[in-house]
């Protein structure tokens, strides 16, 4: 159902998009989605499907469960779209979502990806003792100014930009005290809002080096394939088009900044005009509206959003 008059980018969400009940309706109504959850249960050796569909929320929020849960829900939604004849011209994913993007591009098998992100979540959680690290969102302040404040607040500790999400939103990560100092400085210097995030670890900063060191051999041991369509990687906001560049980008991503806004701008520059968030939640849809409101954006996470998106595409293609 791709059309030469418009290019489609599939965007895959990352951690924070999870909720109890995600994927359940798709699994109930689409055999291919049901099968995806069964594959995940088999690959992991426990009932991930049950945690996605029924909770409890406390368990679903554990990083080593959250990551495979979001990946599985996203892949289930992608497979339903694939059955409907929808193929992306580009794919990208926010942090963890980059693994979903690589499954969609055929770079990684789903079973390999789901096991890897379980370990990734575990390694990230164990890299820093609870309470030592923190993250905060700085809203309504330019990137240059946020980086300046982070540098000033570090005082020998770690404080750096973790996610460049949109012109409106930059997330910082590092040692708890340093992030606290940055929040105070940002508030004093005119940020619209600076708020600590309820996360269990300081993702995407140099404190994650132990996690990156543990994940690297896991990724080195996996077979990676040539992506079937261009994948935009977070860490460089650039297209990866070979097995090896894909692997190295996923390794570097653990400590690297998620350059989401530049990634989306690259997709726009490459001609993408329809952006579909594939998986749970609407986080990337919201960021897209902050980055470029002129682009058509849709979501597919359940039956209703799937139907709306298919109607939207049919209207564009008409």
Whether omega before 56 lies within 30 degrees of 0, making that bond cis, reads yes
Structure letter (DSSP) for residue 295: S
Evaluate whether 191 touches 61 at the Cβ level (below 8 Å).
no
Catalytic annotation, pick one of 17, 49, 74, 95? 95
Q: Both tokens of residue 236?
A: 């460089």
What percent of the chain is modeled with pLDDT above 70? 99
CA dist., res. 112 & res. 43, Å (int): 8
Mean pLDDT of the chain: 96
Q: What is the CATH number of domain 133-199?
A: 3.30.70.250
Q: Which residues contact 293 (CB under 8 A, 6 or more apart)?
A: none
For 198, other C-beta atoms within 10 Å of its C-beta total 9
* Consecutive H or E run containing 97: helix 97-104
Model confidence pLDDT, tens digit, residues 128-168:
998 899 999 999 999 999 999 999 999 999 999 999 999 99
Closest alpha carbon to 107 in 14, 278, 243: 243
Q: What are the residue boundaries of the structural domains of the chain, listed by start?
A: 7-127+207-317, 133-199
Is pLDDT above 80 for 5? no
Q: How far is CA 245 from the centre of its chain?
A: 18
Whether omega before 170 lies within 30 degrees of 0, making that bond cis, reads no
CA dist., res. 277 & res. 297, Å (int): 8
Percentages (nearest 5) of helix, strand, coil residues in the chain: 50, 20, 30
Catalytic annotation, pick one of 17, 204, 246, 305? 204
Evaluate whether 227 touches 107 at the Cβ level (below 8 Å).
yes
The mean pLDDT of 193-200, rounded to a whole number, is 90
The mean pLDDT of 83-91, rounded to a whole number, is 96
CA dist., res. 118 & res. 65, Å (int): 6
CA dist., res. 318 & res. 314, Å (int): 6
Q: How far apart are the first and last CA of the chain?
A: 11
Model confidence pLDDT, tens digit, residues 272-294:
999 999 999 999 999 999 999 99
Closest alpha carbon to 281 in 38, 101, 11: 11
C-alpha separations of 165 from 8, 103, 170, 193 in Å: 20, 23, 6, 15
Q: Please tell me whether the overall predicted TM-score, pTM, comes out greater than 0.85 for this model.
A: yes
Is pLDDT above 90 for 263? yes
What is residue 3's predicted lDDT score, i.e. its pLDDT? 46
β-strands 133-139, 238-240: how paired? unpaired
Catalytic, 95? Answer yes
Level-2 CATH architecture, domain 7-127+207-317: 3-Layer(aba) Sandwich (3.40)
Q: Both tokens of residue 200?
A: 């269990």
């Amino acid at each position: 159902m791709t059309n030469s008059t418009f290019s489609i980018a599939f965007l895959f969400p990352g951690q924070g998009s999870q909720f109890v009940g995600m994927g359940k309706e798709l699994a109930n109504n689409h055999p291919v989605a049901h099968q995806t959850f069964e594959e995940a249960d088999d690959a992991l050796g426990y009932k991930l499907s049950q945690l996605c569909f029924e909770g409890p929320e406390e368990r679903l929020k554990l990083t080593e469960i959250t990551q495979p849960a979001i990946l599985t829900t996203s892949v289930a939604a992608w497979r339903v779209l694939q059955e409907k004849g929808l193929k992306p011209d580009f794919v990208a994913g926010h942090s963890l979502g980059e693994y979903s993007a690589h499954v969609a591009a055929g770079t990684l098998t789903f079973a390999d990806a789901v096991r890897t992100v379980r370990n990734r979540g575990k390694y990230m959680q164990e890299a820093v003792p609870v309470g030592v690290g923190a993250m905060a969102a700085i809203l309504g302040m330019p990137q240059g100014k946020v980086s300046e404040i982070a540098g000033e607040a570090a005082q020998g500790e770690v404080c750096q930009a973790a996610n460049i999400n949109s012109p409106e939103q930059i997330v910082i990560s590092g040692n708890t005290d340093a992030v606290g100092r940055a929040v105070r400085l940002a508030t004093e210097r005119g940020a619209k809002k600076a708020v600590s995030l309820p996360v269990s670890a300081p993702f995407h900063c140099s404190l994650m080096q132990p996690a990156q060191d543990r994940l690297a051999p896991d990724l080195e041991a996996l077979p990676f394939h040539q992506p079937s369509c261009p994948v935009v990687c977070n860490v460089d906001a650039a297209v990866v088009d070979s097995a090896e560049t894909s692997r190295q980008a996923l390794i570097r991503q653990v400590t690297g900044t998620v350059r989401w806004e530049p990634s989306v701008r690259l997709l726009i520059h490459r001609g993408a005009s329809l952006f579909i968030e594939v998986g749970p939640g609407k986080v990337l849809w919201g960021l897209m509206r902050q980055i470029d409101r002129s682009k058509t954006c849709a979501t597919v996470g359940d039956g209703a959003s799937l139907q709306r998106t298919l109607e939207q595409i049919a209207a564009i293609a008409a």
